[in-house]
Amino acid sequence: GSILTNSVSILSDAIHDFGDSFSIGISYLLEKYSSKKSNNKYTYGYLRYSLLGALITCLILLIGSFVVLYRAIPRLLNPVVVNSTSMIIISIFGLIINGYAVYKTSHSTNLNEKSINLHMLEDVLGWLCVFLGSIIIKLTNFYIIDPILSIFIALYILFHAYSHIKEVFDIFMQKVPEDIDINKIKKNLEKKFDGIKDIHHIHVWTMDGEKNYLTAHILLNSKLS
């Protein structure tokens, strides 16, 4: 569609959709693998394979966005003629397909599935921008709108991909989940169990953004020995 219309904004959505298609396939395989039960080698199970899928997806989006920016920025200085009628038709098709994909992935729970749903939603917004922009181009012949749209879409994707990849990175680095207060956990345990003298070396982390784990050294009162 980008070749037929000479539109760099459709190119941006095409690269984005291709990246999604490729990464969803990888994510699906890794998601299936992550459901395997724990064993003597993987005592916590295979949940982090799901995160690997989310990481690959975000990296593909980052690379694709930079490619779009590389193609679009020169066109700001030298706008080229685009086929606005074909752009409208292609954007309608993109809205229908990606809108259905958003609906199908809207009930996601883990990070991998949320990552896919985010991409689908970004695709819908991207095609909506292309649809509106192509109508304006058809009415005004203001061709610079095409590279402006593509840059806007690319920057939007970069922003969300960065925030999502940071979340995945925090999990890989075993950062304490945002909704957990270690001091509060310690106080609650000491309050609930009278036999606890001290709690230290508390470690809390999440495997995949859903399942959290805790380890700690607990010193008991001598009366329990």
How far from 200 is each of 177, 195, 206, CA to CA, in Å?
18, 15, 19
pTM: 0.67
Tokens of 163: 């925030």
Amino acid identity for residue 156 in this structure = Y
DSSP labels for 11-62?
Answer: HHHHHHHHHHHHHHHHHHHHHHHHTSPP-SS-TT-STHHHHHHHHHHHHHHH
What pLDDT was estimated at residue 92? 93
Task: Judge whether residue 223 has pLDDT over 70.
Answer: no
Per residue in 136-152, pLDDT (tens digit) is 999 998 889 888 888 88
How far from 56 is each of 60, 123, 206, CA to CA, in Å?
6, 18, 19
The contacts of residue 68 (CB under 8 Å, 6+ apart) are 8, 11, 12, 15, 16, 150, 151, 153, 154
* pLDDT grade for 109, boundaries at 50, 70 and 90: low
Q: Which helix (H) or strand (E) holds 122?
A: helix 111-140
pLDDT (average), residues 28-34: 74
pLDDT (average), residues 73-82: 86
48-77 vs 111-140: helix crossing angle, rounded to 10 = 20
Per residue in 165-210, pLDDT (tens digit) is 888 888 888 889 888 899 898 888 888 887 888 888 899 998 877 7
Query: Alpha helices, DSSP H only, in 141-181?
Result: 145-172
* pLDDT grade for 108, boundaries at 50, 70 and 90: low
Contact 102, 117 (CB under 8 A): yes
What pLDDT was estimated at residue 139? 92
Task: Judge whether residue 224 has pLDDT over 60.
Answer: no
What pLDDT was estimated at residue 135? 93
Contact 217, 207 (CB under 8 A): no
